[in-house]
Each structure stands twice: as structure tokens, then as C-alpha cells.
Amino acid sequence: MKRITLASFCFLFLTGTTILAQSNHILWFDRPATYFEESLVLGNGKMGATVFGGVNSDKIYLNDATLWTGEPVNANMLPDGYKNLPAIREALKNEDYKLADQLNRKLEGTNSNSYAPLGTLFLSFKNTGTPKKYYRELDITNAVSKVSYEIKGVKYTREYFVSHPDKVMVIKLTSNKKGALNFEVNFNSLLKYKVSLTDKTLKAKGYAQVTAKPGTNVSDPFAKVFDKTRGTRFSTRVKIKSPDGIVTRTDSSLVLKKGTEAIVYVSVATSFNGFDKNPATEGLDDEKIASAQLNKAFQKSYSILKSNHLKDYQFFYNRVNLNLGVSSAPNLPTNKRLIRYAKGEEDKNLEVLYFNYGRYLLISSSRTLGAPANLQGIWNPYLQPPWSSNYTTNINAEENYWLAENTNLSEMHLPLLSFIKNLSVTGKVTAKTFYGVNGWAECHNSDIWAMSNPVGNFGKDDPVWACWNMGGTWLSTHLWEHYLFTQDKNFLKNEAYDIMRGAAQFCIEWMVEDKDGKLITSPSTSPENKFITPTGYQGATFYGGTADLAMIRACLTQIIEASKLLNIDAEFRQKAESALARLHPYQIGKKGNLQEWYYDWEDQDPQHRHQSHLFGLFPGHQITPDSTPELANACRKTLEIKGDETTGWSKGWRINLWARLGDGNHAYKMYRELLKYVDPDGVKTNYSKGGGTYPNLFDAHPPFQIDGNFGGAAAVAEMLVQSGDATIMLLPALPDAWNEGSVSGLCARGGFVISMNWSNKTLKTVTVIARSAGKTTLKSGNKQKEITLTKGQKVTFNW
Ligand code: FUC
């Protein structure tokens, strides 16, 4: 792995320091974290660890991707919900939007459950004092975090990682003076729990709340509903191994005395046993699993565990390597680096680091089937996390996966794809009971129980977000995208097709005719903006929303293509084709914008963070500057009206949109906006605008949401390679700032893997590897080249 740039090499050479200059793969700090947003996170795609790196006491938040509040959802919560539809439609026909908003609340179900914080591990040190030479880092080439400092002339080090193959967190502690390591290990949790110590093992067990309520108000009594006979259980096991120290225990902690080196092994498990199994009565034996994982790993030495971990992690991480040329930025702690960058300074390796970090975060948070990366990935310390840290499917859950295929992490997409399968089960009941149709639907939010109903707490919340029902339609496009990138026909046939078909069936049956005989949705809402009617009413419920129709257009197009490819289901294909042909078309508004509403109405918030009606430009493929220039211009106009100041995830989306418009410089401007330094004060900042990046490179909505990290990283790939079914555009949106560079391992639709280098903003050489036999046309600048490759074939040529 050659990740050391020339400049950093020179820096190393000149200073002799071991700290890389302007690294593209290391986050580092000269002090411990105070805030969560300064911590360094590790994970194996299930177990998450948030490390603060304290000197007197180290704090590590522990998470497990499968620890949520609640239990399986009763999807049949409003059996007669659909009977409200005629009245809503009648109100809409009469243009009585106020009444339609009121009636739409009758189509609201329960709110989602919440991702739960498992607990906190404390390492309390006896050798305290003011440290010298404090250093804390996360190296994302090996997914290992380190802390080192000196107290009274003794050097202490710690090294942490969370292993996927060995299913444990491992912490190695050393001192350079014999016997100088003295510490205690404790555990506590915000959930109900008990700690016991036997056989030199710290054992904790507990359980999550059986119900939860969205919001960030931790004192809300409803958040603390625990029932010891219900809910998901968790177990933690901790053990210390030391070649020379003495391991003992108290009633509540493990103790290490007079060690020179010690390894702490940490294992967690939950009773979660699938979205449809009661975690209390049909749950897994979490205690047994946590013990087995710990005992198995405890047999292994630190170096074996570490080499297993590296082999596993680097198999994924090393697939892609991005280089944007020589940088002259100075080597600074990551927080200071961001502050400097926010002043407009050059730091190409920070731009590469953010991209690499997105891939790191996905590998670390998304390896558990049925439990995709949630709003905070897997890292959550709160009893009531922001927005329940759940799955918001009107953008956030999907944005989390925009980088999965194009940055060569297809395997990390599987947790989402398997989750979609679960949604198609509960979603069938939702389609029938809320909307009176076949197929399956998923609405605004979901959770690990694959909840699919419209939310809003049975009429208490605003339809502007609660009543949206296109989540399943949007999510189903991920199945097709996975096929396009992998060309895995077995997956398409055996895993994806029926789910895609169910999503399409819902769309076909859900739509109604407008006055011109075109097909539209009714009622409809447009995430999460409001319109102003000519009479001044500001509302949410209307008909024929552009965003709905854009997603339906994608869903129908894909089921048609899939059924042709597999040569099956001709009758249904024909239904999809005739519905597709009758969809109400895109409209361009009087401002030259792409119309969000059926009529050319004003927006309540013209700069609203959502831009779902631009779905056809990105992530969809219906609008392109080449094939639909007028619509592409209208999208551009919409983006101009909205401006660039918005939340983190919204910036992530807009970079992708600008990239699809082929405007690399605007995409780059917004990428810099996404990397704007945000104070690590977590949830306290005003959240509606001001998105950016916290010191630990977590995306700030604010507060922390991981979607911006993933959307931003995906956008870098989108600036370098864009692909449709039959074409691959190389450097389609390259900004002036990236005039030199190289990348290897990006993926394109059609199953191709691309490596290339460029200078003076011009493509020089390109290598294409075919995952399966196929034909594609490469385009860059004003040249194009058609290639036909056999499976596994690799070609390289000068452009
Ligand atoms: C959507 C967005 C919010 C936030 C939430 C998690 O509702 O509108 O900005 O990101 O999801």
C-alpha cells in the first residue's frame, strides 16, 4: 500500500518524525477526546467502540448493531386505515388542502423504535498526572487506534481494534518501565443491567427498553420504559491477559497490578434473533454467545488476533486507492486541520482522507444482515439518540449506501439488501391496511424490526414527514443497482426480483388517474417541504408529487428491465410498461426550476434541505445533461435557488447532483462546504442549517449523522466515474483543484472495475477489469471507445 505522498515522505525524511505529514489515512489529536464528536470509532460491522483515549481514565462506549428498543412490530396496527382514502382524495379533488392535511393524519401509525446504547467501559489508571507527548490516532489503513503519552518519564501506549473474524474488541496496553501498568476495568450502562465478576471475568448483562419515543429529550419518562420480561437482552464479557502483571478483581471491576503489558479482551452479544422473533422469548442466548466469543479469542495471542483483523479489514479497504497529487498542507491535528481548511487553504490529502474515511466507516458499520448502518452507523451513546438513530428512508438510509457499490464495497451493501427483504414482509401488511393495495410499501421511518407503516403516532404528527410512503419504492432500486454493479444474475433472480416486483405492484395499484388521464399518486407529500397554494394555504398533502413519480419511474423501469433480462413475468411487465407510459411527466416551473408540486406553486421554504424531486438526476438516471438537457437545466436552476448552505446529508446529496450535472467545480465547492469545521458540541447546535464536519470527521447535520460521510465519499467517486447501463464516463466532473491524480478500484455499472490516472485535467491511461463478460463504451473529454471484455479480462490503454 503506497499511501505516503511525496510531500509527506519529504516531511518524514526532514523531520525524522513518525507522524505522517498531511496524511490521507490518519486522524490524530494531541489530546484526549472530551466530546463524542472528538472520539475515534472502531467497529467490525456489528460491535462498535467509541474511544476517548483519556489519561487518568479511558472511556469507551460500546454498541452492538442489533441492540434496539422494542420487539417485533405488529404491522396490522390500523386494519381499516385504507377506508380513509376516499375522503382524502375527495378533499384533494375539491382543492381543500387543509382538510386533506387533517384527514391524512388518519393514515398515521406508530413511531419507530430506537437504537440503544449498550454500555461504557472505563479503564481507570493508577499512574495519573499531567501527560507529556500525548498522541492519539486512528489509522484507517489498518482500522487500529493508538494512544501514547508519558507520565513521570514512563511511556504508556494503548492499541485498540475490533475484530470481525474473532468477534471481540482487543486493547493492548504497555509501559516502558517494568510493572508500571496499574489499572481497573469497569462497565456501566444507561440500560437496565447488572455486573458480576467470576473467574477473573467481568460479566455484565442487561436489557433495552421495550418502547421508545423519538426525540433528544433524555429526561422524557417514556424513554425509560423497561420491562424485565420483554425487550432485547445484551451481555458483555471482559478479561485481561498479562504476561507479568497480576489480574485480580473487586466486586465491580477487574484489576491489573504491576504489569508491563496487558491485553484486554471485550465481547458483546444480544438476544436479537431476527426482525420477526421476540428477543425475550425467542431470542438468542446472548450470555452463551458473549462467553464463547471471549473464550475463543482469549486463547489467541495479540499478534494472531491483529493479523487476522488486518487480513480481514484490508481485503476490503485496499481495493481502492485515490491520490490527488502533491499537497503542501502542514501536518496538524485533525481538528486544527479542519479549521485551517475551512479558511480556504489547500489540503488535498484531507479531501482524500474524507473519502477513505467514508469507506472505513462503511466497512466498520455494515456487516450484519438485517441490521444496516443506521443514522449514526453503529456508534451511539444516547438513551434517546437524535431521530432515534433509526432508518429514515426518505433519504438518510439510502444515502448511507450510495458509496457501497461504486467504491467497491458491494458486500457491505448486503445488510441493507437483506433488510429490504424484511421490509417486504411487513410492508405487504402496510400496503393492504393503510393503502388498500397489493405489493409492499415502506414509509418514512424504519427500525431493526422492519417497521414499514407511515409514522406520526396515530395522527399526532405533521403529515409533511409522517405520511410519506415511497420508502419501499426507493429502497427497491438498491437491489437493481447491486445487480448492475455485480452482474450477479442469481442474486437478481433468486433474491431481488420478487421484492422489486412487489414494490412495483404497490406503485401500479397505488396510482390514480389525474384529470388528463395520466397516473399520479394521491395523496402525496414531498419530503419534508410544504407548498403555498395560490390562496395562501401552506400545506403538505397534495397529489402528483414529482418526487413520488420520479421514484415510481425508476422502480417500473427497473422491473421491466429485470423481467426482460430474466425472460420471465411477461404479463406483469406489460402492466408496468403501460403504467410507465402513462405517468404524469416532469414539469418545468416559471422560475425555470424543476417543479416539485403538481402545480407551479411556491415553496414554504425555497431553500429546503430536501430535494427529492431531483431524484431522477441523482441517485436516479432519468435526467442527464446529454439525454434530457432541458430537465437537467431545470435541476440546475432548482439547485441554484436552493443555494449551498444546508445540512450535512443534504450537502452530500447536492455534491452528487452537481457531479451528475457535470459541474466539477460546483461539486468541489460543496465538498469543501461539507468539510466545514463544526464545533464538537453535538446536539446543541442549531440543526436546520450549518452542516459540516466534526473534529473526528463525523458528519454534522448537525448533530452527528453518518449519512453525510457516506454521501460525501460517494460523491468523490461520482466526480471521477459515472456509469449507466452501457456507458462509463471517466472524469465527468473533475474540478480544477484536482487537475492531477490517480485512482484505482472504482466500480461501474456493467460490472467493470476502473483504474486511471490523469494530469492537466485530462485522462492519461485507463485500466478496465471485467467482473463478467460484457461490452461498454468509455467516454472522457470528447473521445469515446467501445470495449468488449471476457470475464476477468483486464485491458490497459492510453487515452
Ligand atoms: C430527515 C431529515 C432531517 C434528518 C432526519 C434524520 O427527516 O429531514 O434533516 O436528517 O431525517
Ligand 1 midpoint to CA 460 (Å): 18
Q: Which stretches within 443-602 are classed as H helix?
A: 463-466, 471-486, 489-490, 497-510, 546-566, 570-581
Residues of the chain with pLDDT > 90: what percent? 93
Alpha carbon nearest to ligand 1 atom 11, residue? 392
Nearest to 753 by CA among 407, 427, 415, 447: 407
638-668, pLDDT tens digit by residue?
999 999 999 999 999 999 999 999 999 999 9
Peptide bond preceding 702 in cis form (omega within 30 of 0): yes
pLDDT score for 17: 38
How confident is residue 199, by pLDDT bands cut at 50, 70 and 90? confident
358-406, pLDDT tens digit by residue?
999 999 999 999 999 999 999 999 998 999 999 999 999 999 999 999 9
Alpha carbon nearest to ligand 1 atom 7, residue? 392
Nearest to 564 by CA among 789, 776, 556: 556
Q: Is 219's pLDDT higher than 70?
A: no
How confident is residue 689, by pLDDT bands cut at 50, 70 and 90? low
Ligand 1 midpoint to CA 491 (Å): 31
Q: Is 349's pLDDT higher than 90?
A: yes
What cell does 10 get?
519529504
Residues of the chain with pLDDT > 70: what percent? 95
93-129, pLDDT tens digit by residue?
999 999 999 999 999 999 999 999 999 999 999 988 8
- Determine if ligand 1 sits within 6 Å of the CB of residue 705: yes
- Determine if ligand 1 sits within 6 Å of the CB of residue 387: yes
- Determine if ligand 1 sits within 6 Å of the CB of residue 399: no
Q: Is 747's pLDDT higher than 70?
A: yes
Atom of ligand 1 nearest to the CA of 649: 10
- Determine if ligand 1 sits within 6 Å of the CB of residue 649: yes
The DSSP code for 262 is E
Alpha carbon nearest to ligand 1 atom 8, residue? 528
What cell does 342 get?
475551512
Ligand 1 midpoint to CA 698 (Å): 16
- Averaged pLDDT, 90-94: 98
Alpha carbons 677 and 699: distance in angstroms, whole number: 10
Ligand 1 midpoint to CA 117 (Å): 21
Atom of ligand 1 nearest to the CA of 375: 6
277-311, pLDDT tens digit by residue?
999 999 999 999 999 999 999 999 999 999 999 99
Q: Is 577's pLDDT higher than 70?
A: yes
- Determine if ligand 1 sits within 6 Å of the CB of residue 391: no
Ligand 1 midpoint to CA 688 (Å): 9
Q: State the burial class of residue 288 (Cβ atoms within 10 Å of its Cβ: 0-12, 13-18, 19+).
A: exposed
pLDDT score for 725: 80
Atom of ligand 1 nearest to the CA of 688: 9
Stretch among 226-230, 486-490, 587-591, 687-691 having the lowest mean pLDDT:
687-691
Alpha carbon nearest to ligand 1 atom 1, residue? 392
pLDDT score for 223: 55
How confident is residue 8, by pLDDT bands cut at 50, 70 and 90? very low
- Determine if ligand 1 sits within 6 Å of the CB of residue 647: yes
- Determine if ligand 1 sits within 6 Å of the CB of residue 698: no
pLDDT score for 7: 40
Ligand 1 midpoint to CA 555 (Å): 23
How confident is residue 681, by pLDDT bands cut at 50, 70 and 90? confident
Specify the 3-state DSSP secondary structure of 408: coil
Q: Is 215's pLDDT higher than 60?
A: no
What cell does 316 get?
476490503
How confident is residue 21, by pLDDT bands cut at 50, 70 and 90? low
- Determine if ligand 1 sits within 6 Å of the CB of residue 531: no
Q: Is 695's pLDDT higher than 70?
A: yes
Specify the 3-state DSSP secondary structure of 727: strand
How confident is residue 690, by pLDDT bands cut at 50, 70 and 90? confident
Tell me how far CA of residue 655 lies from CA of 343, 554, 619, 628, 717, in angstroms: 20, 21, 11, 20, 11
Tell me how far CA of residue 350 lies from CA of 3, 48, 330, 339, in angstroms: 13, 24, 11, 12
- Averaged pLDDT, 609-635: 98
Mean pLDDT across the chain: 95
Q: Is 9's pLDDT higher than 50?
A: no
530-561, pLDDT tens digit by residue?
999 999 999 999 999 999 999 999 999 999 99
Ligand 1 midpoint to CA 681 (Å): 19
Alpha carbons 71 and 580: distance in angstroms, whole number: 39
